[in-house]
Amino acid sequence: MNDLLTALLLGLIEGITEFLPISSTGHLLIAQHWLGARSDLFNIVIQAGAILAICLVYRQRLLALAFGLGERENREFVLKVAAAFAVTAAVGIPVRLLGWKLPETVTPVAWALILGGVWMLLAERLAERRPERGLTWTVVVLVGLAQVVAGVFPGTSRSAATIFVAMLAGLTRRPAATEFCFLVGIPTMFAASGFAFVEYLAEGGEGEDWAALAIAFAAATLTGFLAVRWLLGYIKTHRFTGFAVYRIALGAALLLGLPAGA
């Protein structure tokens, strides 16, 4: 397949799956298993394209926070977003430097999809029985840690891990949990992209197809914007059950269709 067309396809996959609780990393690894592996820089920078999409979707909310810091509620919310990011950085950077991450092969991803789907079914039902406590500091810390867990276990889904841990910790309303977790993802993924770019330069800064990367980035931004807009409307009246069933079915199909050792 033409390299630019492959990059476009991977960008579309990233944009569609980054914020749906079905694991963008898992889907990219699966796609690259057949389409050919890409560099860490490619994978993380196209995730930044999806994060740019979330900035566009939440542009009014972000502007209101930026120009409304004189209000106590806005200051507290921004502080909690920053604190969740700080937890992720404090734990995630050492984890990354130590190389603590499951192999990026299809079998672990398939199991993560299945187990994550079961977790979603159970977590949503449990969260519905818990009292609403709002955006507490417990939610903040757990969301920060959940981002690290999602990075260590490809196929987990950052959005699924963070949204459901937030709901279980007391931020039980789906739209509120989703908004906080998505906004925490903005500094997290932009920082990850910057970290990957520094690593790329430290290794010589050669070998990357910038045209392919630009196409994938643009595709991820556009489709990410559309996917988030759709999801925010969907969760107002629907549960996450459909996504959980999809994860379990996809994981099972991958396990049944894999050759030994894949």
Q: What mean pLDDT value characterizes the chain? A: 90
Report domain extents, the chain.
Answer: 3-256
Q: What is the pLDDT of residues 157-172, one digit of tens each?
A: 999 999 999 999 999 9
C-alpha distance from residue 174 to each of 101, 167, 199, 222 (Å): 29, 7, 36, 24
Is 259 a residue whose pLDDT tops 60?
no
Backbone angles phi, psi at 110, to 5 degrees: -60, -45
Q: What is the pLDDT of residue 31?
A: 86
Q: Which amino acid is at 203?
A: E
Is 196 a residue whose pLDDT tops 80?
no
Which pairs count as long-range contacts for 199-205, CB under 8 Å and 24+ apart, including other chains? Answer: 199/40, 199/41, 200/39, 200/40, 200/41
Spell out the residues 6+ positions from residue 210 whose beta carbon is closer than 8 angstroms to its own: none
Residue 36 gets the label, from left (phi > 0), alpha (psi -120 to 50) or beta, of left
Q: What is the pLDDT of residue 33?
A: 76
Q: How confident is the model at residue 239 (pLDDT cuts 50, 70, 90)?
A: very high
pTM over 0.85? The answer is yes
Q: What is the pLDDT of residue 2?
A: 80
Q: Which amino acid is at 160?
A: A
Comparing CA positions, the residue from 154, 125, 145, 153 lying closest to residue 188 is 145
Q: Which amino acid is at 30?
A: I
**Percent of the chain's residues with pLDDT above 70:** 97
Least confident of 1-10, 56-65, 102-111, 201-210: 201-210
Q: What is the pLDDT of residues 13-46, one digit of tens each?
A: 999 999 999 988 778 878 887 888 788 778 878 8
**Percent of the chain's residues with pLDDT above 90:** 62
Q: What is the pLDDT of residue 258?
A: 61
- With contact defined as beta carbons under 8 Å apart, do 175 and 57 qualify? no
Q: What is the pLDDT of residue 42?
A: 85
Q: What is the pLDDT of residue 82?
A: 97
Residue 102 gets the label, from left (phi > 0), alpha (psi -120 to 50) or beta, of beta
